[in-house]
Amino acid sequence: MADLHINNLRMQFSGVVALDNVSFSVSGGEIFSLIGSNGSGKSTLFNCINGFNRPQKGTIEFDNINLLSKQPHEIIQSGIARTFQNIQNIPFMTVLDNILLGAHHRIDSKATIKRWLSRSQREAEEAMGLEILDFLGIANYEQKYMTGQPYGIQKLTEIARALVGKPKLILMDEPAAGMNDQETQEIAKIISEIRDELGITVLVVEHDMSLVMSISDRVCALDSGKILAMGKPDDVKNHPDVIKAFLGDSDDA
């Protein structure tokens, strides 16, 4: 399975050092979580992995490919999908069509023209989209328009769009943000199933500590762009620096 290796990463925005000498590896098949207070660099790390941000120093390798030499669409093609902190669905399209947007990267530029002529290709994509919706338990939303759908459905649609491209690694930025307890438990189950049943490696940023602790093989705590602690969930949770920095008496990690 494909591994992710991040080495000595530094990302600076004018005066702000968002990531400072960050190194870690994620093995294929792991569920690996990033925690840290707002502004600690979690989303910036995702942006470096998927090519939106260009770090000044360091290396990122996935599946033996140097990601820093690749464009965002090439990084998707290498098998890395992402869901965003803010929902990115298109309101005037159906749930299924929103999902199929994620399938298009599998078609190369020459085939892009052909695909509009190929009914069988469209049908194959739709079947795949439906399979993913079924996997997520929202198959009955297939033909519904995105507009006005509950928040939970919007979030699941985002996840479905990432999965339909058959990634090897999925980056999930705050998948449970804004969800109630029941929806959060459902997301925890889905994340575990994404790894267990689809065999996809999961890198997740999440504030909900009970979710992080229940699903993760390993956890990495960031603070002001630096790694504070990394290891098994309980070890990180009980690490004195982590407690001091952001666990304290709040659950906003």
**Which of 1, 151 has the CB closer to Mg ion?**
151
Three-state DSSP at 53 gives: coil
Residue 50 interacts with ligand ADP (CB under 6 A): yes or no: no
Give the span between the Cα atoms of 100 and 96, in whole angstroms: 6
Nearer to Mg ion, 46 or 141 (CB): 46
Strand pairing report for 169-173 and 80-83: parallel
| Run of H or E including 22 | strand 16-26
Residue 111 touches which of Mg ion, ligand ADP, none (CB < 5 to 8 A by kind)?
none
Q: CB-wise, 57 or 189, nearer to ligand ADP? A: 57
Tell me how far apart the alpha carbons of residues 246 and 253 are, in angstroms, rounded to a whole number: 6
Per the CB < 8 A criterion, the answer to whether 205 and 172 are in contact is yes
- Does residue 167 interact with ligand ADP by CB under 6 A? no
| Site stretch for ligand ADP (CB under 6 A), options 38-46, 104-112, 117-125, 211-219 | 38-46
What are the distances in angstroms from CA 181 to CA 136, 139, 208? 18, 22, 10
Q: Quickly count: other Cβ atoms within 10 Å of residue 104's Cβ.
A: 14
Minimum gap (Å) between residue 199 Cβ and ligand ADP? 27
- 16 lies in the site for ligand ADP, by CB under 6 A: yes
Tokens of 229: 């602690």
Q: Which of 43, 83 has the CB closer to ligand ADP?
A: 43
* Cβ atoms of 208 and 176 closer than 8 Å: yes
Return the number of the residue (42 or 70) whose C-beta is nearest Mg ion.
42
Report the partner that residue 16 touches, choosing among Mg ion, ligand ADP, none (CB closer than 5 to 8 A by kind).
Answer: ligand ADP
**Residue 243, token pair as written in the block:** 């407690």
**Nearest-approach distance from CB 168 to ligand ADP, in angstroms:** 23
Contact between 18 and ligand ADP (CB under 6 A)? yes
- Binding residues for ligand ADP, rule: CB under 6 A, are 13, 16, 18, 36, 38-44
